[in-house]
Chain A
Amino acid sequence: MSIVAEHEYQAKDYKSDLKPIWCPSCGDFGVVSAIYKALARIGRPPHEIAFVSGIGCSSRIPGYTTAYGFNSVHGRALPIAQGIKLANPDLLVLVAGGDGDGFSIGGGHVPHAIRRNLDLTYILMDNQIYGLTKGQLSPTSPRGLKTGSSFHGSLEEPVNPLLYVLSYGAGFVAQGTPADMSGLADVIEEGIRYPGFAFINVQSPCVTYGQEEQQLRVHKQKMQSLKDLAHDTTDRLKAMALAQEYGIKLYTGVFYRNPEPAATFETAVRELHDRLVPEARLRVDILDTFRPQ
């Protein structure tokens, strides 16, 4: 897919009239703004963008853009997005959702989306809590966290989304926070431009049920730019070492970017079509396949 701007777009061109249902100062406001900005820089017209989500507070996000949106069912954004991309590879396809949507109920789809390597950008809004159901454990909640469903404290270790996707083989892995709006828009833009599956973990605080130490003001003090650390983004093992510190440190920027992106699934599909379509009989003649031999 070539990303060529037909004409200049501005962030507001991607903003819909729907008023977000999010709580005031929810981190997701920052995420959607960063998406508007990144899309404007990319410059694809909204009708050529499909934006797919599952269920959760953050999954409302497609409706707040002017793209074709699909606010689907819990955990299934990735399969639906893959169907869309395969049906029309020319579309720019974004996928978004929360940590529960992506790594709990939908966790089984993540490795497969990554190994197929369609050109999708998956933005995970990670707030370590279930907000829409009013405060229960999420797969990224730290051990010991007391919530509505863990009255005496969580007994489970959290998943590490960054380490998971790196070990599944994702070609682009980054992290951002609305505490650094310009950095967030940058990684989203870069993820979209990456020709293959791109994963962006956004630390997007829940102001109502989230922990004190996960709020934006804490992020501001804690966040550490990977660029400033002179991290080599082509080194997957170093990226994995840094990702180990998920939950302890808050690194922002690109963890890993495959310097030689693998061919995408849709490229392989195009090649298969180029090879097979010329030998096809007409659809109306398909039954001729079954003349007895």
Chain B
Amino acid sequence: MRNDLIIGMAGSGGDGIVSAGESLMSALAREGYYAIMSKSFGSQIRGGESSCRLRISTDPVLSPGGTLDVAVALNWEDFMRFGSELPVDGRTVVIYDSNTKVQPDKLPLTEVRPAVAIPVPIQETARQHAGTDKAKNTVVLGLLAGWFKLAEENVLAGIRRKFGKKGEQVLRGNERAFAAGLEFAAAHPVDLDVVMAAPKAANGKILLLDGNEMCAAAAIFAGCDFFGGYPITPSTEIMHFLSKELWKHGGTVLQAEDEIAGIGAAVGASFAGKKAMTATSGPGMSLKTEILGLATIAELPLVCVNVQRGGPSTGIPTKSEQSDLFQAIFSAHGDAVRPVIAPISVHDTFRMTVEAFNIAEAYQTPVILLSDQEIAQRKETVPAINTANVHVVNRRLPTRSELDNYVRFRVTDSGVSPISHPGMKGGNYLASGIEHNEKGAPTAKGDVHARMNEKRIRKLIPLKHRRDLFVIEGDSHAPLAMVSWGSLAGVASEALERARKAGMRVKLLIPKLLYPVSEEIYRDFFREVKAGLIIEQSYQGQLYRVLRMYVDLPRGVQSLARSGSNPILVEEVVSRLQQLTLDLQRGRVPEPEPMLG
């Protein structure tokens, strides 16, 4: 029996492989399993290759996992396009359509022989039982449910719900296709331990959603009243959800004429007293940068979501990367410090989005919420969130007496000044991108400029002490350490568990607040560390470099970083940790690699 199963499937756009993954996941969630499903596509809208990777577990899971336990190829050409995103090794069960005419011992996989390769007449079965190629994915569901004992009843119930609306003929055809898949599996038993253990308990109030949906829902929870944005992959689903739901809460969604107008309208709404958000991805972020600076100097709360994708420029819009960290932290002109926070999972996206609003409102600053395509577009089972424990912060409005002689940008002890908005009598002031004095009057005086810069930066210092925005796991005195962020944090977390089981002394730090850099928290963490890895999905290792800039990292701490669309796998992290452990045992401190670029 297995407690954890990773299934990767690939086909052409029309094969419905992603939709099969979603049906299966939904059934498994109802059954009580935990699951993560990531999708990956070519850039074509129709007919291009598409894939999904579904990880099922009897326990909560943190990452989409590494090597596939089960690989399903509807055709090999599409499967191979995903390369290292769908890795196969000697333990993998490969299922593929026999119409590909490939012999089981001649699979087009590079340098690996899977445990078993089973050609199945998928297309033929679909045609025979449902009269259409469209039922290929239903045959696949039957095969998976049959071989791996995956929620047969619930999958069938899902098929009935889905196709029930499409008429008797379609419904019966899909029922027969599913049954044929089950029968094929029963008639061709696999001589391997592939049966999935029963779930431990019903999940109760489980939720099933992706990171973009979670971000949008959390924004509504946090009190967002205005969204201004422009369509861009892979963040658009945030706007989709809000366009359906935000209106119901009295809010407004504006699809602006461009990225700049989207953030401009959001800044306007914030000036008018509402909680406001914009969302985009890399290239859109570049366009929004000027107005982010305006929000900094005008001290206006604003949440700006960047769902990172492969860059620069158009790059790889459909694949995940963590290469916008430098941009998030450093792209402003002038001395603009703005908080950057990153969620580590779909689940965590709830808290981090609320946190982004809370920080924006409390400190009157733009906040960059740095998500990535992996989190944004993958579906997760999420345990019910007790929202009663989630605090929502509102901006500090001036009191009646403060309005008597109102000074909008008063230099206070905290650096935060009460903020009025149009409609408040006595609160009238000039918001501006030009430097201004405490009353808001434009100025070119150096001493005023310095004082206001100091105020705007000082007010953010309390964030550096927010230990709740950092997760530390593992052996606190370990000589070996990892740091990882965003969607890669789950990979590191799982690697930590495996490494500790293998007897290594190692720990992990996951910063969710990436800027301002909390020197103190890193210093404490690295105090006894001799070697380690900063794990992230970018060519340059951007967090590694930021930490080298701000923190006195121990010499043996290295970067484990790679461009997007080439996943860093748990196995790989564990083997690097093993090497570092050996080095330390031999008294060798590994040299950091020379920096490129």
Which residues in A have some Cβ–Cβ distance to B below 8 Å?
18, 45-50, 52, 55, 60, 62-63, 66-73, 76, 78-88, 90-91, 108-109, 111-112, 269, 272-273, 276-277, 279-281, 283-284, 286-287, 289-293
Contacts and interface: CB of A to CB of B under 8 A. Distances in A.
B223 interface: yes
Nearest to B225: A87
Contacts of B418: none
B61 to A, nearest CB: 16
B273 A290 contact: no
Contacts of B264: 72, 76, 78-80, 83
19 contacts: A47-B428, A48-B422, A49-B422, A63-B430, A63-B432, A63-B442, A71-B431, A80-B267, A83-B254, A83-B268, A86-B226, A87-B272, A108-B258, A269-B252, A283-B220, A283-B249, A290-B207, A290-B213, A293-B161
A69 B429 contact: yes
B221 A76 contact: no
Contacts of B424: 47
Nearest to B424: A47
Given A79-B268, A84-B269, A284-B387, A68 B220 contact: no
A84 B272 contact: yes
B430 A62 contact: yes
A292 B248 contact: no
B405 to A, nearest CB: 13
Nearest to A266: B252
A71 B254 contact: no
Given A86-B252, A292-B206, A287 B217 contact: yes
B207 A82 contact: no
A50 B272 CA distance: 9
A60 B265 contact: no
B184 interface: no
B257 A109 contact: yes
A277 B422 contact: no
Nearest to A54: B433
A279 B245 CA distance: 10
B432 A84 contact: no
A84 B271 contact: yes
Residue in B226, B272, B274 with the greatest tally of chain A CB atoms within 10 Å: B272
Contact of B433 (A47, A73, A277): A73
Interface in B268-291: 268-274, 276, 290-291
B205 interface: yes
B441 A63 contact: yes
A63 B435 CA distance: 13
Interface of B: 26, 29-30, 161, 205-209, 213, 217, 220-221, 223, 225-226, 228, 245, 247-250, 252, 254, 256-258, 260-262, 264-274, 276, 290-291, 293-294, 298, 350, 382, 384-385, 387-388, 421-434, 441-442
Given A63-B430, A88-B272, A279-B248, A80 B290 contact: no
A273 B250 contact: yes
Closest 8 CB pairs of A and B: A83-B268, A79-B264, A83-B265, A280-B248, A87-B272, A79-B261, A87-B269, A80-B268
Given A83-B267, A84-B269, A283-B220, A47 B248 contact: no
A84 B428 contact: no
Given A47-B428, A76-B264, A286 B254 contact: no
Contacts of A290: 207-209, 213, 217, 382
Contact of B207 (A79, A279, A280, A287): A287
Contacts of B254: 82-83, 86
B35 to A, nearest CB: 10
Given A83-B264, A87-B269, A276-B247, A289 B217 contact: yes
Contacts of B274: 87-88
Contact of B260 (A76, A81, A84, A286): A76
Nearest to B224: A283
A292 B432 contact: no
B422 A284 contact: no
Given A48-B422, A49-B422, A109-B261, A70 B441 contact: no
Contacts of B262: 79
Contacts of A91: 272, 422-423
Contact of B248 (A66, A71, A80, A276): A276
A202 to B, nearest CB: 21
B387 A287 contact: yes
Contact of A112 (B248, B257, B421, B433): B257
A72 B248 contact: no
B250 A277 contact: yes
A47 B434 CA distance: 22
Nearest to A47: B425
B298 to A, nearest CB: 8
A262 B292 CA distance: 34
B252 A293 contact: no
A293 B158 CA distance: 8
B261 to A, nearest CB: 4
Contacts of B425: 45, 47
B217 A292 contact: no
